[in-house]
Chain A
């Protein structure tokens, strides 16, 4: 079926398989893997799963912030927020495109999202209850995403790594705008400052959970590191995020809701409290505050748009037939 959007490069082509040994030798060379290079099937499957989950996170992530576009408190903020959420859609697009280079189809990946067979980042199952949450998402959630994603710019799979370079540049801008929202609020009226503190109180721990389970409880990490997909462990990245964020909270004049945060001279890092991962696992299981709403919103958009996509395909087919008829 012809499609109205984008380029049609024909049926997806799977790369030939490669033995683990030959692949290890290639990676030892720090060689980058490109779309039609041979690769082990497990590597391909892991990448598809990870890139798809990343793409799904971008498009589900449009919802919590999109929730405040209609109510943004100034026209300048409204414009910035619209541009930001539009960026998330753009990230989704290039990530689906990167996944498609591995021989899968965007429509199939979306189907897996809609039927719950593929996941998205659990952070987007938390609600945006106030305008300050838009700031907290930019500062903390995008901040955590950057810490996770900067190493992916050196990921062994070329299309994913290159997509990440652009995504990280834009995320860095998003993080600064989140910081600036909170800075304005925390230096505003007492009600605005309270709004900012409440948002940080609610988003701090879920942001720390974005780095995944602790290293000793992360089943896929070792293989991903061996394959050059993952460069640093979950706990290392979490520590890096805390070290980066604590001084920024001081500049904001906001308190991070963890009494155990203190500088550890010996380690050269901030110590922090224990993350309650039982909550994370509940959210992953589907019992977070917004899981059902996010999926219902996403599925409704897809189903309500079916007649439009069908029309576009039918029109494109007619155009092809007309061109051929005229030739």
Chain B
């Protein structure tokens, strides 16, 4: 429970850490997505993946700014993005691992966009005007991301034998990290567990339509919401933050 600075209104029913989790999911996902620009299988896909990454980055920026305001310590979006270490990041493991295989990117986007679609729909109807506003805009963006992921899942799953196998392998590789999205978080405005059935149901329907199978694998013990990450996040942040940190106090 926190009280916004200089405000006499009652404490908000959610934590700034909760907002940081939403922001970091979007930021880290955008950072991974942007890797594809100039590397996609087709020029149209360079455009599409750049566009999706830009949407995610836009969501991250608004959410980081809001998290900073809620925290009340005067931290800007850049302070939060560039000057926190990995133990202070609150994103899930699903989005932080490298994704240099197109099938993995699509499998991950299918899960993540479905999760965000349900999450933002719930937040858009929530009691917090700022989060409802951000989510109201973002819900339209992720509808496009989800459509894009769905169409590619169908093409890869029901394309060639090779693509079917690779897409199934990609789903199998991502699946252990799906469960973490639904772990309960202290100070949540929308309980992540409440999204589980809808998200998994929608993803499973697409997977089956694509002639693929929903993987039957045990979830990995994730800890992203508590600041415990894979080894990959440190490398991602080292790359993302090094220039900003090399020039303390500079304006860009």
Residues of A within 8 A of B (CB): 4-6, 59, 62-63, 66, 69-79, 82-83, 85-86, 89-90, 92-93, 96, 131, 184, 188-189, 191-192, 297, 300-302, 304-316, 318
Contacts and interface: CB of A to CB of B under 8 A. Distances in A.
A259 to B, nearest CB: 30
A75 B160 contact: no
A73 B42 contact: no
Contact of B38 (A66, A75, A79): A66
Nearest to B51: A86
Interface string B35-71: 1011111111111001101100110110010000000
A188 B251 contact: yes
Given A191-B247, A307-B163, A308-B163, A82 B156 contact: no
Contacts of A318: 158
Given A86-B54, A310-B162, A69 B37 contact: yes
Given A63-B38, A89-B43, 4 more contacts: A69-B37, A78-B57, A192-B247, A311-B163
Given A77-B252, A310-B162, A311-B156, A70 B35 contact: yes
A85 B38 contact: yes
9 contacts: A75-B27, A75-B81, A93-B43, A189-B250, A300-B39, A302-B41, A305-B102, A312-B155, A315-B159
A10 B77 CA distance: 50
B239 interface: yes
A63 B40 CA distance: 12
A85 B43 contact: no
Contacts of B97: none
A184 B38 contact: no
Contact of A301 (B39, B156, B240): B39
Contacts of B87: none
Nearest to B103: A308
B42 A311 contact: no
Contact of A71 (B240, B247, B249): B240
B242 interface: yes
Chain B interface, >50% SS class: helix
A62 B50 CA distance: 12
Given A96-B43, A188-B250, A309-B41, A74 B78 contact: yes
Given A82-B54, A315-B158, A305 B41 contact: yes
Contacts of A74: 78, 82, 244, 252
A70 B34 contact: yes
Given A70-B35, A131-B243, A310 B159 contact: yes
B166 interface: yes
Given A71-B240, A83-B54, A184 B47 contact: no
Contacts of B77: 75
B41 A93 contact: no
Given A70-B31, A305-B102, A311 B159 contact: yes
Contact of A62 (B46, B60, B154): B46
Contacts of B250: 73, 188-189, 191-192
A82 B37 contact: yes
A73 B243 contact: yes
B240 A310 contact: no
A326 to B, nearest CB: 16
Interface string B148-179: 00000011101110110010000000000000
A302 B45 CA distance: 12
A62 B47 contact: no
Contact of A86 (B46, B81, B158, B242): B46
Given A307-B166, A308-B42, A79 B156 contact: no
Contacts of B162: 307, 310-311
9 closest Cβ pairs, A-B complex = A305-B41, A311-B159, A311-B163, A308-B41, A86-B50, A62-B38, A315-B155, A73-B252, A89-B46
A114 to B, nearest CB: 14
B46 to A, nearest CB: 4
B54 A310 contact: no
B154 A315 contact: yes
B247 to A, nearest CB: 6
Contacts of B163: 307-308, 310-311, 314
A79 B159 contact: no
Contacts of B35: 70
Contacts of A304: 39, 41, 102
A86 B158 CA distance: 29
B122 to A, nearest CB: 26
Contacts of A70: 31, 34-35, 239-240
B44 to A, nearest CB: 5
Contacts of A76: 61, 252
Contacts of B78: 74-75
